[in-house]
């Protein structure tokens, strides 16, 4: 009788262990899915912010208002330091303001932290490096 009880207790113990492991796996996967949904929601919100800022930035560029563009981009970056479009348009604005070193740093930072931007910023980086090289005083 005692051995039957011990056997049943061992079975119950293993069933509890399996149940706990299954529950923890469920919690892990459910939290992963919820985190993904949360990130997707944030990405959609950021896309909305990005597209409205992008429209504003393009308008300011077309009208030649680079000072306002730099101010607006910096305001966005104060609240969202990794905002790609704000960095991109800030660098463009600084380039138009003839601040190539600052623009180059921002473009390089954008490319290094967001490799998918490389195709967009590499031509600017090359142009700015050339501009900086040509602007340095030459020894005679």
Domains defined for the chain, CATH in brackets: 43-135 (1.25.40.10)
Q: For 65, left (φ over 0), alpha (ψ -120 to 50), or beta?
A: beta
What is the model's pTM?
0.64
pLDDT at 136: 75
Tens-place pLDDT, residues 2-19: 888 888 889 999 999 999
pLDDT at 51: 76
Burial class (CB in 10 A: 0-12, 13-18, 19+), 110: buried
pLDDT at 80: 85
pLDDT at 38: 75
Q: Find, among 41, 99, 106, 118, the residue nearest to 77 by Cα.
A: 106
């Amino acid at each position: 009788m005692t051995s039957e009880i011990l056997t049943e207790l061992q079975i119950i113990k293993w069933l509890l262990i399996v149940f706990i492991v299954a529950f923890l796996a469920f919690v892990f996967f459910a939290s992963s899915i919820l985190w993904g949904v949360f990130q997707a929601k944030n990405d959609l919100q950021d896309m909305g912010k990005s597209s409205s800022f992008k429209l504003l930035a393009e308008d300011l560029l077309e009208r030649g208002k680079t000072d306002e563009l730099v101010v607006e981009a910096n305001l966005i970056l104060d609240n969202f330091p990794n905002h790609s479009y704000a960095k991109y348009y800030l660098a463009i604005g600084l380039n138009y303001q003839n601040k190539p070193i600052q623009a180059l740093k921002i473009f390089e930072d954008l490319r290094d932290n967001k490799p998918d931007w490389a195709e967009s910023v590499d031509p600017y980086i090359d142009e700015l490096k050339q501009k900086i090289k040509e602007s340095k005083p030459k020894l005679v």
